[in-house]
Structure formats: structure tokens, C-alpha cells
């Protein structure tokens, strides 16, 4: 999960290095997508922490959707929309 965000960060760095003359619109779209991906990774990590560390051994937690999972789903939809645009 985090390694894929590292790949995205490297792609953003290479984009800014290779295409410095691109317009502000494309650069801002790339930055927004990178930021949404960063938030998505943070929320997925928070969900893993909640399920695997904080609630270790509590089987009933599997029936509950934490707030970080809900935010992750919303960020996935937003990122999909932005990339498809």
C-alpha cells in the first residue's frame, strides 16, 4: 500500500522534472491527485491500525465499519473521478 504511494510520488517528481513547461492546470491536477492518494494511504493505514492493533482479538469489530474505511471509500471515488476526467 505505502510502496504504491511511493511509486506515485516518484511519478509526480518525474512529471515535474520532465515537463516543467506544462500549464498550471495540468500541474494542479497532478498535485491534487497526488494529495488525494496520500490521504487515501493515510486513511487505509489508520483503518489497518484500528482493526489489527487497537481491536486485536475482538471478533465483533469485523461487523463495524470505522470512519477511516468510510473516508477511504470516498477518497477512492474522488480519485477515480479525477483520473477519469
Task: Please tell me the pTM assigned to this model.
Answer: 0.82
3-12 LR contacts (CB < 8 Å, sep 24+): 5/37, 5/38, 5/41, 8/34, 8/37, 9/34
Domain range summary for the chain, segments of one domain joined by +:
21-84
Q: What are the pLDDT digits (tens) for 16-34? A: 999 999 999 999 999 999 9
Regions of the chain where pLDDT drops below 50 = none
Amino acid at each position: 500500500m505505502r510502496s504504491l504511494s511511493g511509486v506515485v510520488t516518484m511519478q509526480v517528481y518525474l512529471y515535474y522534472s520532465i515537463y516543467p513547461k506544462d500549464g498550471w492546470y495540468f500541474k494542479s491536477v497532478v498535485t491534487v491527485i497526488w494529495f488525494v492518494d496520500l490521504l487515501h494511504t493515510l486513511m487505509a493505514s489508520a483503518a489497518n491500525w484500528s482493526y489489527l492493533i487497537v481491536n486485536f482479538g475482538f471478533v465483533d469489530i469485523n461487523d463495524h465499519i470505522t470512519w477511516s474505511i468510510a473516508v477511504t471509500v470516498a477518497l477512492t471515488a474522488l480519485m477515480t473521478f479525477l483520473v477519469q476526467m
